[in-house]
Amino acid sequence: MTDLYAVVGNPIAHSKSPLIHRLFAEQTDQDLVYEALLIDTEDTTFQFAISDLIARGYRGINITVPFKLDAFELADELSSRAEVAHAVNTFSFKNGQISGDNTDGIGLVTDIEENAGRPFKDKKVLILGAGGAVQGIMQPLLEKQPGLVHIANRTAKRAEVLGNRFETDIPITTSDWVNIPDNTFDIIINGTSASLEGKLPPINPTVLGQNSLVYDMMYSAEPTVFMQWAQQNQPSCQVRDGLGMLVGQAAEAFYIWRGVRPETQKVIDEVRRLIQP
């Protein structure tokens, strides 16, 4: 019996998760099918869509924009990292129960530290956005002991609420876009979904240093508009999209579901090759 999995979101047509999980399944000899499914909230609710997938025999799903906070509310039980994140990107279905987890943070931290070779320890980090995607990365990032973290968001209050959630000796400051501190940061992470629409967070390029790593959690075949903006304003900075994070978080979800941890670098390279125009 082939096991069924999926990723749900809106938009979802761009998702490479089905390709990634197919490559994982081939690599580890697992019998499964993984699909990308659109949830249109004009036609249904997130809760009804998930109930329908459970009724149809799905074993688990990944959750992407904009449903990670809905998933947190819907889960019957949560992992410790999902509880801290207040966001869920992975559901497991068993005996009528929905177990929620969050693998985003592990995916991001591993990609930046191991694949990009940029340790967080003692570094100044700027995070753009305060939604579900950012909530998922905060705890694993803070565990890497950065020197300071500044969270900027369209509404300052939402950034402040997120920053206040974590008990840590690491300085966490927050602001809206306009009041980001006027100094350079070592690592700048775009956790907004603006790149999906070809848009930019309205921030000042003075945050860019010559050796900054500029990281967009979104990804595409071409450099995202955020990566292009960074290189136009600071040509020597290092830019990176979120494909490595995507593969890393997918590998963790695959391990939760199947008990097998796939090797990721070959999959990153293969997906990068296949998405080139």
Active site residues per annotation: 68
Q: What is the C-alpha to C-alpha distance for residues 233 and 83, in angstroms, rounded to an integer?
A: 38
The number of beta carbons lying within 10 Å of the beta carbon of residue 232 is: 10
* Residue 77 tokens, joined: 């039980």
Quick one: 235 exposed, middle or buried, by C-beta within 10 A (0-12, 13-18, 19+)? exposed
Q: What is the C-alpha to C-alpha distance for residues 49 and 21, in angstroms, rounded to an integer?
A: 21
Q: What is the C-alpha to C-alpha distance for residues 202 and 177, in angstroms, rounded to an integer?
A: 6
In the chain, the N- to C-terminal Cα span, in Å, equals 36
b vs e for 177-211, b when ≥16 Cβ sit within 10 Å of the residue's Cβ? beebeeebbbbbbbbbbbbeeeebbebeeebbbee
* Residue 106 tokens, joined: 């592990």
Alpha carbon distances (Å) from 50 to 9, 36, 199, 212:
11, 13, 30, 40
Question: Peptide bond before 11: cis, by omega within 30 degrees of 0?
Answer: yes
Helix-helix angle 265-275:243-258, to 10 degrees: 130
Sign of the CA dihedral with 248 first, then 250, 251, and 256 last: positive
Quick one: 10 exposed, middle or buried, by C-beta within 10 A (0-12, 13-18, 19+)? middle
